[in-house]
Amino acid sequence: MLKVNNIEVVYNDVILVLKGISLEVPDGSVVALLGANGAGKTTTLKAISGILDSENGELEDGQIEFMGKPIHRLDPDKIVKIGITMVPEGRRVFEDLNVIENIMIGAHTRPDRRQVKRDIEMIFGYFPVLAGRKNQLAIFLSGGEQQMLVIGRAHDKGGYPGDILIDGIKAVPYDYLVQIFLFQPGPSQDFFHGRDNQFCWFNFL
């Protein structure tokens, strides 16, 4: 379960971007965060992921909990290790690496190295087009394929139960996403996505 309680985010010590934002994601629920451009949806994801510092942002008030424990003071790498991964907007692939190498980067924090190969095959099952291009450099993929790749890379982090926060998924056909997050066997998977002016967090058992 994820809880965001009355958070307040300031950029550059003066620009108040978020004030009083709260949300709770119980198991098996769907929660939507709606807002126009500039309303702070992406900032909310960054606050959860612990990456506000990279843009001179700071969580000045409130708290964020995951699985009953506070995470708002953790470094981003610690947040990834407990199971939360953010896929930023813009299809940020490693252009000079091939598909397999990009996916493997997502597994660099995992202690269970023996399971990585199994999970890569699972990702290729979700995105068959990537399997056919596994040795191709990411720079030569289409926009939709690059977006599939960054989602797959986040999925390879392990750490179940896990959360994947995705900022913008317009390039990925929804049938792929339904296959991944609605019919995935095993532990629950949370999925927080953005499309145009809305964000939704799906938690499926």
- The pTM of the full predicted model, rounded to 2 decimals, is 0.76
Tens of pLDDT, residue by residue over 20-41, are 999 887 765 656 667 788 888 8
Tens of pLDDT, residue by residue over 149-162, are 988 888 766 545 46
Residue 105's pLDDT band (cuts 50, 70, 90): confident
Domain total in the chain: 1
Query: 44-53, 97-106, 132-141, 144-153 — which is least confidently predicted?
Result: 144-153
What integer pLDDT is reported at residue 187 of this predicted model?
Answer: 43
Q: Please give the full DSSP string across 92-126, using - where no structure is assigned.
A: ---TTSBHHHHHHHTTTT-S-GGGHHHHHHHHHHH
183: CATH: 3.40.50.300
What integer pLDDT is reported at residue 110 of this predicted model?
Answer: 75
Q: Is the peptide bond before 187 cis (omega within 30 degrees of 0)?
A: no
Do residues 23 and 203 lie in contact, with contact meaning Cβ atoms separated by under 8 Å? no
The domain containing residue 133 runs over which residues?
2-204
